[in-house]
Amino acid sequence: YSKDLYEGNEFAGVVTGLAWTAVGGEILFIESSLSRAKGDKLILTGNLGNVMKESAAIALQYVKSHSRELGIDDELFEKYQLHVHVPEGAIPKDGPSAGITMATSIVSAFTQRKVRSCLAMTGEITLRGKVLPVGGIKEKILAAKRAGITDIILSVENRKDVEDIDAMYISGLTFHYVKTVMEVIDKALLDEKVAHYREL
């Protein structure tokens, strides 16, 4: 991952995640987009490994099976085809830690709700909605700060990893510890829609 900066919250369906690579931490963007098409095949791009593809499938299933709580009309899953992409295509990506970012991205795409500003997140999703801890927390947090992020969502089980970091490295950052995917979505998505929202 090249060194990216936070890019704002103008677009529905675009959420900032955190990755941990051989050369340190990085932010990455999860992009979800809908198009009118028959069937409900999930399209995944961005040079993703199998575990990361599975994360997207779990995130979509979570969103579908909680559509009522999330305020998404079930018919949208039939009427629209979902495509989830993770730039940059030349870089292979894998692992489960983008799970909650994918779920948030998908909900934003289907609701057109605006993503909270300057927010990033990392955590594995389970089908029942539990948020599991992930690795590389220190490197990911440093990368987030460098990129201009101010708020970070993590599993409560990653709290100890944050507390191990020297305070000077994390000044100015607010951590939001969560247990469930529903908490992630509540924290990450505003009730308002994006400025140029699409009528679904």
Binding site for Ca ion (CB under 5 A): 1-2, 4, 186
Has 79 been annotated as catalytic? no
The runs of H, that is alpha helices, within 32-87 are 50-65, 67-70, 75-79
Burial (Cβ within 10 Å: 0-12, 13-18, ≥19) of residue 108 = buried
Q: Is 41 in the site for its own copies (CB under 8 A)?
A: no
Q: Is 132 in the site for its own copies (CB under 8 A)?
A: yes
* Residue 6 interacts with, from Ca ion, its own copies, none (CB under 5-8 Å by kind): none
Peptide bond into 139 cis (omega under 30): no
Question: Considering only 8-16, 114-122, 139-147, 164-172, which stretch makes contact with its own copies by CB under 8 A?
Answer: 8-16
Strand order in the sheet with 80-85: 43-45, 80-85, 24-36, 14-21, 119-121, 151-155, 174-178
Has 97 been annotated as catalytic? yes
Q: Is 161 in the site for its own copies (CB under 8 A)?
A: no
Q: Is 171 in the site for its own copies (CB under 8 A)?
A: no
Q: Is 77 in the site for its own copies (CB under 8 A)?
A: yes
Q: Is 6 in the site for its own copies (CB under 8 A)?
A: no
CA neighbor of 87 nearest in space, from 155, 16, 154, 21: 16
If the CB atoms of residues 88 and 192 are measured against its own copies, the closer one turns out to be: 88
Question: Considering only 110-118, 119-127, 137-145, 168-176, which stretch makes contact with its own copies by CB under 8 A?
Answer: 119-127
In whole angstroms, give the CA distance from residue 196 to residue 156. Answer: 35
Catalytic residues: 97, 140
